[in-house]
Amino acid sequence: MDTSDPEIEFDTQGVCNHCRAYDAAMAEEPSDPEVREFRLRNHIETIRRDGKGKRWDCLVGVSGGVDSTYVVLLAKQMGLRPLAVHLDNGWDSEIAVGNIQGALDKLGVELVTTVLDWEEFRDLQVAFLRASTPDSEIPSDHAIFSTVLHTAWKRGISHLVMGHNKATEFILPQAWSQGHFDWRYICAVHRRFGKRPLKSFPHLDFPHYVRYRLWGGKQILNILNYVDYSRTGAIAAIQRELGWRDYGGKHHESVYTRFFQAHILPKKFGFDKRRAHLSNRILSGEIGRGDALNEVAKPPYASPELETEDRAYVIKKLGLTEHEFDAIMCAPHRRYSDYPNMLNSRFYLAARGLYRSTLSVTRRARNAKA
């Protein structure tokens, strides 16, 4: 990591705040493999018990990428009966589509795919590009998680098995991406720069978000936190067991994500997400810092030809002209806080004040008893 994260801080030993936060977070996790295995077995038994007599006992989101494919494989190996959910936002690479179908066919897992209204979604993506924040992947991320949650609720599935791994995905500067769950932010950007109404876009409004917060903590199993996970090992397993094909960089199963992370973010904002991805792998012990520095010294794109091809494809698919895209790339930088969002809403500020006041009273009462 470097000062492309504007909020980074280094101590006198040259250690940054991300590393210190990572160490503190990992200290809270059990290091004993037997303890992790015991907790995982308890989770699996709960999922099986709650899903008894039902068609599926859990739900997994799939993208064709490494983590989601590995999660489905683990779920089946542990005797679970997952339903797989995929969001088609119009940007899936051919390799990703083949990976999804090939893996699920071999594992005998049923797939439900939600296809976004392309014209509606295209308009929202262009709106975010014109907003000039580094958050142009927020619409996809929000729609994916919203689709997963709503599918689970609709089909009466009580548990989600997800692929987030604290040890390998802890570091991601807030300045590089913010507002994933914030429907108010998404609507604000779209009202200002969009042209089509959002009639069918999957989303989590505030009541749904509250429901998720109340429901999600006990019902979501981030299974990779309980196994000895490494990206290299996961790739080897899914290639061996499922015939999975590699598509390049992290999250490059989507053509738009590949172009956004490898072209727009570094060239417009100076943000190279490989720094965060590789830093996580260093801290988890998967790779050495020297290897990571060698990797980040390479261009973000596998080849100049692919970058040129992707640029032309994305501009055309979004319905932009070269001049319009160049104007987007040259526009002044904006931030999440420059637009109406959940954190600056009156309701949120009032609720936060009430929460803090209640917490203060509770603490004083406890101290008085002590």
Q: pLDDT by residue for the chain (370 residues), tens digit each?
A: 999 999 999 999 999 999 999 999 988 888 788 999 999 999 999 999 999 999 999 999 999 989 999 999 999 999 999 999 999 999 988 888 999 999 999 999 999 999 999 999 999 999 999 999 999 999 999 999 999 999 999 999 999 999 888 888 899 999 999 999 899 999 999 999 999 999 999 998 888 877 777 766 568 999 999 998 888 899 999 999 999 998 665 555 688 999 999 999 999 999 999 999 999 999 989 899 999 999 999 999 989 999 999 999 999 999 999 999 999 999 999 999 999 998 876 665 565 555 455 555 555 555 555 5
| Nearest-angstrom CA–CA distance, 56 and 156 | 9
Return all residues near 361 (Cβ < 8 A) that are at least 6 apart: none
State the pTM of this model: 0.86
Q: Give the pLDDT confidence score for residue 209 in this predicted structure.
A: 77
pLDDT score at 352: 55
Alpha carbon of 344 to those of 213, 216, 289: distances in Å? 19, 24, 39
Query: Are the CB atoms for 51 and 152 separated by under 8 Å?
Result: no
Closest by alpha carbon to 46, among 221, 283, 229? 221
Kind plus residue range of the DSSP H or E element containing 114: strand 110-115
What are the sequence ranges of the domains in the chain? Answer: 17-338
pLDDT of amino acid 95:
87
d(CA 29, CA 42): 16
pLDDT value for 368: 57
- Look up the CATH number of domain 17-338: 3.40.50.620
Q: Which pLDDT belongs to residue 369?
A: 56
Q: Which amino acid is at 18?
A: H
CA-closest candidate to residue 77, choices 144, 14, 161: 161
State the DSSP string of 159-219: -EEE---HHHH----GGG---TT-HHHHHHHHHHH--S--SS-----HHHHHHHHHHHHHH
- Residue identified by tokens 């990206």 is 231
CB atoms within 10 A of CB 101: 13
In this prediction, residue 370 carries a pLDDT of: 53
Residues 6+ apart with CB under 8 A from 292: 278, 279, 281, 282
